Amino acid sequence: MEAFLVSTGIVALAEMGDKTQLLSLVLAARFRRPWPIVWGILVATLVNHGLAGAAGAWVTQALGPQVLRWILGASFIAMAVWMLIPDRLDEDEVAAGPTRLGVFGATVVAFFLAEMGDKTQIATVMLAAQYNAWAAVVAGTTLGMMLANVPVVWFGDRITRRVPLRAVHVVSALVFLGLGLVALLGAV
């Protein structure tokens, strides 16, 4: 249960102001059909985080506990620094062409590609390696992604204007820093 709850909280925080949250806003404004967008986000996230969780589980098996502890500690601290750098949505990631796939298909493709190498994908790999609980981590990170992005699809820019993104990024950075220090100190 701890792996699920920590994964949910970390990803929900990390997603605030992330490029995939901006992508959710763009898709909602462009298509104005929330349900296919929400389902597309869910499918893309399950596939992407499922693969990332599998990579994390493999890392756990391939590395010894001491090496893994140092890599996880350094990775969490690097994520803390990365959280303080705001994301921007590249115009190339929201190309006009995918509309022939329909709203659902365009969302799946755009979201999957936007998540490649993203903070939450890297966090999923690290959390799966730390907890060695693939299913709980993937379920938690997926829920965190949905908690952060679905309200944006439904309520759009009304939410993004009220949320102090800088404060959310600082809190997220502190959470990652804490996890990194705990891993480095061997309390994990």
Please answer whether residues 8 and 144 qualify as being in contact, where contact means their C-beta atoms are separated by less than 8 angstroms: yes
List the Cα angle 171/173/178 in 5-degree steps.
95
What pLDDT was estimated at residue 95?
A: 46
Query: Closest Cα to residue 9, out of 117, 148, 135?
Result: 148
Task: Please give the Cα distance from 164 to 47 (Å, whole number).
Answer: 30
Domain residues for the domain of 126 are: 2-184
First to last CA, the chain: 16
Provide the pLDDT for residue 17.
75
Q: What is the pLDDT of residue 70?
A: 82
| pLDDT recorded at residue 26 | 79
Q: Dihedral angle at the C-alpha atoms of 28, 31, 33, 34, nearest 10 degrees?
A: -20
Q: Which of 49, 44, 35 is nearest to 7 (CA)?
A: 49
Q: What is the mean pLDDT of each run of 10 residues along the chain (188 residues)?
A: 94 84 81 92 96 88 77 78 65 50 90 85 89 93 96 76 66 77 72
pTM of the model: 0.75
Phi-psi region of 102 (alpha: psi -120 to 50; beta: other; left: phi over 0): left
CB atoms closer than 10 angstroms to residue 66: 9
Rg of the Cα trace of the chain?
Answer: 16
Q: What is the 3-state secondary structure (H, E, C) of 100-130?
A: HHHHHHHHHHHHHHHHCCCHHHHHHHHHHHH
pLDDT score recorded for residue 179: 75
Total of domains in the chain = 1
Q: State residue 67's pLDDT score.
A: 77
